[in-house]
Structure 1
Amino acid sequence: MGEMDAVESEALWDEFHRLVNMTSQELSAWLETREAAESTEALPQGVGAEEGRRVLSILLKRRADLTDDDVQVMHQVVEAVEAQQERDGDATDTQWRHSLMTLGHDPLKP
């Protein structure tokens, strides 16, 4: 995993998994139905935001199996979720919530 030392790697892993509070099953289901709009019909496998698919891929890995690209995505997701949270959005704002859910973070989830 590139230039990160063990402490930095563990801290990133922990922060990513703290912020990505949706399970891989929840995120997968969300990505499949996200673009279905008013329909409750699931979309074909492989659809959904690219970022969400990358997050899902990381959730399915062990820490030892992470690539440098995975680490970069984890950094981006942590920064993006933290930036969205700083915006102090209303969790009932559907668009704001859905943008976070695409990254694996559901602000309504405890």
Structure 2
Amino acid sequence: MTDETSDVELDALWNDFHRVVNMTSHELSEWLRTRHAHEDSEELPEDAITGKGRRVLAVLQKRRMDLTDGDVRVMRQVVGMVDEQRRDDLAPTAGEAHWRHRLMSVGHDPLKPV
């Protein structure tokens, strides 16, 4: 990793990322395959997973020492997005379905206890 992130900053980001991403890699993978699979789609469900969700899955499957600069960027984006949407309160909260689904697409289920 060539990013200018210090070990202390990376440790904090790693912890924040795993705090806000409260879905397991299996749960996230299932959600993304279900969400992106369409009845008329010719893609295999695994191939239907695109975008940030796929990158979050990749980070979840890595050890901290194996992170790339791209992984660090994704982690920052996800932590920022969830913090912006949820503030500091990560208690289970019901909301509109599209809001929940948007957060679930990056690994945060607002109805799941942290």
Q: Secondary structure at the match of 2:30?
A: helix
> 1:104 maps to what in 2?
107
Contact 1:49–1:102 under 8 Å retained in 2:
no
Normalising by structure 2, report the TM-score.
Answer: 0.83
Return the offset for 1:46. 2.3
Contact 1:35–1:48 under 8 Å retained in 2:
yes
CA distance in 1, matches of 2:110, 2:102: 10
Return the offset for 1:47. 1.5
Structure 2 residue corresponding to 1:91, chosen from 78, 83, 94: 94
CA distance in 2, matches of 1:81, 1:92: 14
Cα RMSD, aligned residues only: 1.9
Shift in alpha-carbon separation, 1:81–1:49, aligned structure 2, 3 A: farther
Residues matched between the structures, number: 104
> 1:26 maps to what in 2?
27
> 2:5 maps to what in 1?
4
Contact 1:31–1:52 under 8 Å retained in 2:
yes
> 2:52 maps to what in 1?
51
Normalising by structure 1, report the TM-score.
Answer: 0.86
Return the offset for 1:92. 3.8
Shift in alpha-carbon separation, 1:44–1:81, aligned structure 2, 3 A: same
5+ residue gaps, structure 1? none
Letter matched to residue 44 of structure 1: P
Return the offset for 1:44. 1.8
